[in-house]
Structure 1
């Protein structure tokens, strides 16, 4: 068992060295980020060096005990091969992104032997609250083909073939499905926040430790993962065997032991993917949902256990990945149609309550226009080439403190007079204490005025993107890119307005950084 530490340390260190030596984008971590970055920023292009090196690194991470998912290398290979072939075959410019994303989703369909999961993955993964419907036809063809070819070559075996579910749907099952969905919304947000903090912590350590910091962090991360594996070996690796036992409903364990496994799995996953490992987050997220729901059902004496495990997996996936149909389809393809109603109910509740927060990035909230796409490409290109400069610059260095505000009790006619005087296109709305409530735009005010409506400006209030003055320019840029807004507003801890940052000003700074 002590050899576990040597394996995990060697795995994370080797993965880090391979990526830093051979990849163009020298960042390890969740491969869904690479897929989304290529899709949103590079028009569906993934450099062959990234495809090959990160696929190998992912296999090493998984094989040596790192906590990650096998969909990672499958997505990279599918998307990377499509990116090269589509350009060799001179596929039209507008179809490049579609072929890339549908081929990455085909990797998901093949590795899970679940074609409908692959189809809906392609439709849902680019956005938190939207559907990429343009890719539907390509996703159907690629996912079904990938599934058929995998079965033809490897046989019809399924990773969870022995799972059979049949039960009578009762009000009790529906009630506790909703309860699990509510809990998973907050557990998913907690895991997302933990993963984000771990990433910031790793980046900060790497910048302070210099050029050899990445390798040193991989060694530290490998030792930490190995030590947690010594506490309970089920928290490291893919965990497929343990996950299968939980999904089949035949596994029993003390509730406190399950809680320990849950905490350790969250920590090992965050450490693996932020300290040098490469892989997916899909399976670890399912694992966390399954462990919690099993502990919940065991504590309350609920049966059948496999129903609640299915509900927990789907709702955790919906919370973390901001996908609604994909988790339902995955569970339905694994368990059969009996599970759809309670699983759908829990997934909807978790999806709605967890809010627009995702464990993967860049996953935009909605489909964005051409200007926002151009800004996103500029932001992420700068981040790839000069990350240290972008992280060193703070919001306070670029924000403007001379902001014209409108009080919340001001009416439309008076607000237009203010707008006529200053000539800006948007204005933050504050209360009497200077607390930011949102913002109003000129076009909304003019529309209300033309309708002859003279109401308080709060009737035209829009939600504002907010940042703190000590956040990095990259973090502020991410929020602007994902929202598609023209500005974000700087607030203090209490929510009082301090200033604002314009998207066009950030773009000007990014161009200066990029070409200096």
Structure 2
């Protein structure tokens, strides 16, 4: 099934690339500069409409959606937004948006694999519920970049910051290999990145690679922060205003790029940038300006709700930083060594996928001599990244038995039958009802169902016993305790309990309407039930 998933994904990604790149973007590059600068704004507007209509209000997330679903054990990719997101990606990338093709490609493969998994799920163990989704994701990356090993490694690495999903290794390798073969059968096997010269192998270059890795790590941290801010702005501001401002920014960046370079290097996927890196006219100053322009263009495309990936923007930024350092220090004037090493370091740091970054360099350039400097730079870049990443859904590492339970939705442990007490009830009434219900912790509500706080039996001691009939329970309720949201995971609820030193949380909606409570007892009970269910017969 992994091979079939890879074949279908490879065919889909190949068709997607031919339509988006060959039929649309290559024609955009033939238009007058003014139109080239304006078209990304049009693409963002079309993407917005498509996401709202065909995708039924789905977000622009592609690779992030794969990572999110990967960590939800009982969830598969939702097939409904797939056509809309793919069309929005065509609009974004085909018009010159500054993102990469790998996001939609990975997403398409993961969705195909997830659909096959749902159709033939009875043939898989519960532990293999994500197998075909991972195989499809690997095939998508392998096909779009013509890098089979990178596709497999990236699909396994990207769900985690410091770990891999190695349990899916063989399906990922199979899917990636088949997806790659389908792609190259149509478009050929030419390396993605042009390289020049034979990389030297001496201490000076290796030391330079370490320095470059540290600088790329710092740059990737800044890039990750920018990406997160852009995604936040893309979600929380009025769509029409957001798209208009993002489109105007892209047009301005394109104009500056044309004025400086005679080309729209700030826009598009960035392949043209890599082709120009060996140009002797690309001085240190121009390289620095182009790096800023590309970063701003990627941020503007994300802010405008564009659909695309961050793999290539990270790689292009790394190539620019590498070339900038190599030329600036006089270490890399006859080869593209530092540009290639920068790709491994910046890409590996930004997505927290160092192995995929190095593997991508080896496969995309066709030059194994770049691997050792790339490894050193990738390690150095990871040392300064901390917990930063361009993804919103990565976990630090694989989780154990209990930790997997914590990733489940809080809805599985909400107790909606817990008795509540009106805030204006007297303390005497509260105590009588509490004894009847046998609860020691009771949510307090007002105006029917609006949450106020938590009342506990130990709080009654703050009021003299002979005054209980003159005081309302709302006066002694603990209003400082945090509340949970219905879309939380169990982990988020437990962490909130630990911070507040409590074993119960009220669950409320955005209007603070009471839904139910979550308690440590219910979480432990759920774990016992699931442990019995998962135990082999």
Q: CA deviation at 1:68?
A: 0.3
Q: How does 1:182-197 map to 2 (within 5 A)?
A: 182-197=214-229
Counterpart of 1:431 in structure 2 is: none
Pick the aligned partner of 1:223 from 248, 271, 275: 248
Corresponding residue of 2:206: 174
| Alpha-carbon distance, 1:153 to partner | 2.9
In structure 1, the residue matched to 2:419 is none
Q: Is the 8 A contact 1:286 1:317 kept in 2?
A: yes
Question: Secondary structure in 1 aligned to 2:388?
Answer: coil
Q: 1:327 to 1:259 in 2, by over 3 A?
A: same
- Which of the numbers 318, 323, 341 marks the counterpart of 1:311? 341
SS at match of 1:49: coil
Q: Give the match for residue 139 of structure 1.
A: 172
Contact 2:230–2:302 (8 Å) recurs in 1: no
Within a 5 Å distance, the mapping from 1:339-488 to structure 2 comes to 339-378=370-409, 486-487=494-495
Task: Give the match for residue 325 of structure 2.
Answer: 296
Offset of 1:157 from its aligned partner?
Answer: 3.4
Residue range with higher mean Cα deviation, 168-177 or 17-26: 17-26
CA, structure 1 residues 223+43, in 2 after alignment: closer, same or farther (shift >3 Å)? farther
Q: Indicate yes or no: 2:359 matched with 1:323.
A: no
Match of 2:499 in 1: 500
1:7 equivalent in alignment to 2:39: yes
1:332–1:340 Cα contact (<8 Å) kept: yes
Gaps of 5+ in 1: 207-212, 382-396, 401-468, 490-498
Cα distance per residue 1:421-467 (max 9 Å; x no partner): xxxxxxxxxxxxxxxxxxxxxxxxxxxxxxxxxxxxxxxxxxxxxxx
Partner in structure 2 of residue 107 of structure 1? 140
Give how far 1:17 is off.
1.2
Question: 1:226 Cα deviation (Å)?
Answer: 1.5
Does the CA-based 8 Å contact 2:157-2:163 persist in structure 1? yes
Is the 2:493–2:505 contact (alpha carbons within 8 Å) kept by the matching residues of 1? no
| Residues 169/157 of structure 1: CA separation in 2 closer, same or farther (3 Å cut) | closer
Question: 1:510 Cα deviation (Å)?
Answer: 7.3
Q: Flag the 1:130–1:509 CA change in 2: closer, same or farther, 3 A.
A: farther
Provide Cα deviations, 1:199-245, integer angstroms capped at 9, x if missing partner: 333433x2xxxxxx223311221121111111112111112122133
Report the alpha carbon displacement of residue 56 of structure 1 after superposing the two structures with TM.
Answer: 1.2
TM-score, normalising length from structure 2? 0.69
Q: 1: CA distance between counterparts of 2:173 and 2:217?
A: 30
Q: How far apart in 1 are the matches of 2:483 and 2:304? A: 21
Q: Contact conserved, 2:321 with 2:342, CA < 8 A, in 1?
A: yes
Moved more, 85-94 or 264-273: 85-94
1:22 matched to 2:47: no
- Between the aligned partners of 1:56 and 1:47, the Cα distance in structure 2 is 16
Shift of 1:327: 0.5
Aligned CA distance change for structure 1 residues 507 and 228 (closer, same or farther; 3 Å)? farther
Deviation sequence 1:162-194 (CA, Å, 0-9, x none) = 535523301110111010111111111111112
Shift of 1:258: 1.3
Q: Structure 2 stretches of 5 or more lacking a match?
A: 1-32, 258-263, 413-450, 455-479, 517-537
**Deviation readout 1:69-117 (Å, 9 max, x if unpaired):** 0112211211111111221123424323121022112100011110110
Closer, same or farther: CA 165–217 of 1 in aligned 2, 3 Å: same
Is it true that 1:337 corresponds to 2:368 in the alignment? Answer: yes
- The structure having more radius of gyration, on CA atoms, is 2
How many Å separate the matches in 1 of 2:513 and 2:179? 42
Q: Structure 2 vs 1, CA of residues 215 and 300 (structure 1 numbering), >3 Å: closer, same or farther?
A: same
Structure-1 separation of matches of 2:178 and 2:304: 36
Is 2:53 the partner of 1:41? no
CA distance in structure 2 between the partners assigned to 1:503 and 1:186 by the alignment: 39
The TM-score with structure 1 as length reference comes to 0.72
Matches within 5 A, 1:156-305: 156-160=189-193, 162-163=194-195, 165-204=197-236, 206=237, 213-232=238-257, 233-246=264-277, 249-250=278-279, 252-303=281-332, 304-305=334-335
- Measure the CA separation in 2 of the matches of 1:245 and 1:127: 34
Tell me, yes or no, if the aligned pair for 1:66 and 1:272 is still in contact at 8 Å: yes
State how far apart, in whole Å, the 2-side matches of 1:504 and 1:52 are: 44
CA distance in 2, matches of 1:380, 1:6: 46
**What is the total number of aligned residue pairs between the two structures?**
409
1:234 is paired with a residue whose SS is coil
Structure 1 residues 128 and 45: alpha-carbon distance in aligned structure 2, compared to 1, 3 A threshold = same
Runs of 4+ in 1 over 6 A off after TM superposition: 397-400, 471-474, 510-516
Structure 1 residue 151 displacement after superposition? 1.6
**Residues 289 and 316 of structure 1 are in contact (CA less than 8 Å); yes or no, is this contact kept in structure 2?**
yes
Change in 2 beyond 3 A, CA 1:26/1:42: farther
What CA distance in whole angstroms lies between the structure 2 residues aligned with 1:120 and 1:16?
32
Q: Is the 8 A contact 1:52 1:77 kept in 2?
A: no
- Per-residue CA deviation, residues 238-275 of structure 1 (Å, 9 max, x unaligned), is 121221332xx455412122111111111111121232
